[in-house]
Structure 1
Amino acid sequence: MDKLSTMQAYCRIVDRGSFARAAEDLGVSAALLSREIRLLEDSLGTTLITRTTRRMSLTEAGRVYYHEALGILDAVHRVEDHIRDGAGAIRGHLKVNASNSFGTLVIAPVLPAFTAAFPDLRVTLSLDDRVVDMVEGGFDVSIRIRSAMRDSTLIARKIGTVHQGVFAAPSYVAHAGLPTRPDDIPHHKVIGFLLSDHLTSWDMVGPDGPVNLSVDPAVRVGSSIVLRDLLVAGAGVGTLPSFVSDGPVARGELVRLLPDYRFAPRDICAVTAARLGMDARVMAFLDHLQAALKG
């Protein structure tokens, strides 16, 4: 029995809360994992995991083994990362989570160059606009756009900044008129993003100070990309993050409204579980992504 591999498998089972999900992550069968854990328990002379048909739970010995194993595996990873250098260190499987719009418009275009630079690395990019449980999902890093990080069990590295603006198509402005003050917005057809923190309340800062504007979107959608397309089609006015609006504005498909009023900028954060830190795979990916954001 390979003790390190078994430790890694055991920790993944605990993290995922399931033999089946851990087996999928590791690319082995659940039966093989179950057999490995039984051998581990036999060698230790104690039960680590109690299992029923519906759930699993750790014994006290299982909890102790889990925390001690994490320390051993972290130490091994640090030694290996220190010894390796260059692209040779970047191998294995990197699992990334991001929102649909950021993943589609920002990450996907830079993936070909990244995978070409690190051919020994497999990458899984999962897109979801809702905040996911990183450990439950088995992700190495999640890219989130937030004004603040509230989960103390996670660590975040800022890799960029997003600015939010109000936009409409020239065709919409031509027939509905140009709003020049925030008070004009409620008289227009507003399109909102369902998961936005400002769906019905816009907090902006203008020439005369802070402004809070209540809005009632006539259309509400669950995708920033769909929202962008509706605005380009002349369906109304709405807010977009800069990475979504920059292209249509450059092509003349959208115009910025209320340019003297600004939303608070938000950070693009790379988030990992605190106990995992950011390993060589994650750091290589973030360096590549951050360079693309600056470019």
Structure 2
Amino acid sequence: MDDPDRVSAEMDKLSVMHAFRRIVERGSFARAADDLGVSAALLSRQVKLLEQSFGTTLLTRTTRSMSLTEAGQIYYDEAARILDNVAAVENRIRDGAGAVRGHLKVNASTSFGQTVIAPVLPSFLDAYPDLRLTLSLDDRVVDMVEGGFDVSIRIRPAMPDSALVTRKIGLMRQRIYAAPAYLERAGVPGKPDDIVNHRVIGFLLADHLTTWTLHGPLDAITLDLDPPVRVGNSLVLRDLLIAGQGIGTLTDFVSNEAVARGELVRVLPDYELPAPEIFAVTASRLGMDAKVTAFLDHLRAALRG
């Protein structure tokens, strides 16, 4: 029969490993303490006791920075491997039992979060009542590990090579739009080159802010532009277009409702920009667990619908 004190000690070791890993990945005792719901003083004591047990320093700390020693790097790498293996076993057991629980932390762009994710959240939460959810909306690319996110939804023409794991979950169309009132006032472009004579509203975070590559029936045409108005949020861009402020590009999940209401119309309907893809991004160490899988399955169903 197992010794209860020995079992408790082993569980404490896993807890300390988890705390140490979080401190390293968050780069701060205070941020790690917030994530774990404990005090920074407690984490500091745990690390000190851990260092005493090994007889060596694992973290070098100053008032402004923190870094791993060689021994600390070895402990971090092995602790992360052990914790990931334990998590994988637990997830396999939970998956087999059909259990989706725990705390799911999701990051997405503001426009995608408001127009696509938010409407499906009620049915998702109803399906998994034991799940805690944090949804963070940010139009800039965030650090997955530092932010402590399980999954980030990113919309890009392609994802750069990195240590992150990316999965394509959908495709968006990117087209040119303007309000009927603006086109009546400024004229309807008949060919791509006409765009340069119009007031272009640009999306600051887009790869095509100043260069539009338009794919048409026969070939691709590249336009060099200098948008006089530039915004960092595609919902704001959409609203400016609806208000008749100019011409701009929108993905279909942002433009669909405005088009259906007649507030926006397509410009140069035979042309569109390269279609951005929807990627689900996870940190390579974290992988895909039951709660991430459940969320992405729910999101895929919404995108197909």
Structure-1 separation of matches of 2:44 and 2:27? 13
Q: Residue 100 of structure 1: CA displacement?
A: 1.1
Structure 2 SS opposite 1:240: strand
Q: Which amino acid aligns with 2:143?
A: D
Deviates more, 1:231-240 or 1:85-94: 85-94
The yes-or-no answer on 1:41 pairing with 2:56 is no
Alignment map for 1:98-113 (pairs within 5 Å): 98-113=108-123
Q: Is the 8 A contact 2:168 2:279 kept in 1?
A: yes
Equivalent of 2:172 in 162, 166, 174: 162
Displacement after TM superposition at 1:170 (Å): 1.2
> Is residue 206 of structure 2 the alignment partner of residue 196 of structure 1?
yes
Q: Provide the C-alpha distance between the structure 1 equivalents of 2:62 and 2:165, rounded to a whole number of angstroms.
A: 34
Q: Distance in 1 between matches of 2:37 and 2:129?
A: 19
Aligned residue identity for 1:205 = H
The 5-angstrom pairing of residues 1-295 of structure 1 reads 2-85=12-95, 89-295=99-305
8 Å contact 1:161–1:266 — kept in the other structure? yes
CA distance in 2, matches of 1:31, 1:117: 39
Aligned residue for 2:6? none
Superposition deviation, residue 163 in structure 1? 0.9
2:4 aligns with none
Ranges in structure 1 where 5+ consecutive residues have no aligned partner: none
Output the amino acid matched with 1:28.
Answer: V
Equivalent-residue separation in structure 1 for 2:62 and 2:112 (angstroms) = 41
Partner SS state of residue 262, structure 1: coil
Query: How far did residue 282 of structure 1 move?
Result: 1.3
Task: Give the secondary structure class of the aligned counterpart of 1:89.
Answer: coil
Secondary structure, counterpart of 2:262 in structure 1: coil
Pairs aligned (count): 295
TM-score normalized by the length of structure 1: 0.96
8 A contact 1:4–1:73 mirrored in 2:
yes
Alpha-carbon distance between aligned partners in 2 of 1:137 and 1:203, rounded to the nearest angstrom: 34
- Code of the residue aligned with 2:65 in structure 1: it is R
Q: Alpha carbon RMSD of aligned pairs, Å?
A: 1.5
Moved more, 207-216 or 225-234: 207-216
Please identify, of 239-248 and 82-91, the stretch whose mean Cα deviation from structure 2 is larger: 82-91
Distance in 2, Cα, partners of 1:90 & 1:65: 31
Separation in 2, partners of 1:60, 1:200: 46
Deviation at 1:142, TM superposition (A): 1.0
TM-score, normalised by the number of residues in structure 2: 0.93
Q: Residues of 2 paired with 1:285 and 1:27: CA distance?
A: 25
Deviates more, 1:238-247 or 1:32-41: 32-41
Amino acid at match of 1:127: L
Q: Is the 8 A contact 1:87 1:118 kept in 2?
A: no
User: Which structure 2 segments of 5+ residues have no match?
Assistant: 1-8
Local SS of the residue matching 2:139? coil
Question: What do residues 140-188 of structure 1 show as CA deviations (whole Å, max 9, x unaligned)?
Answer: 1111111121142111010100110000111112222211211111121
Query: Runs ≥4 in structure 1, deviation > 3 angstroms?
Result: 85-89
SS in 1 for 2:168: strand
Instruction: Give the SS at the match of 1:72.
Output: helix
Q: CA deviation at 1:87?
A: 7.5
Instruction: Report the Cα offset of residue 207 of structure 1.
Output: 2.2
Cα deviation for residue 44 of structure 1 reads 2.8
Q: 2:172 touches 2:278 (CA, 8 Å); kept in 1? A: yes
Q: Could you tell me which amino acid in structure 1 is paired with residue 78 of structure 2?
A: E
Q: In 1, Cα distance between the equivalents of 2:37 and 2:119?
A: 28
User: Per-residue deviation at 1:88?
Assistant: 5.9
**Identity of aligned pairs, percent?**
69
Alpha-carbon distance, 1:22 to partner: 0.7
Take 1:10 and 1:266, find their aligned partners in 2: how far apart are those partners? Answer: 38
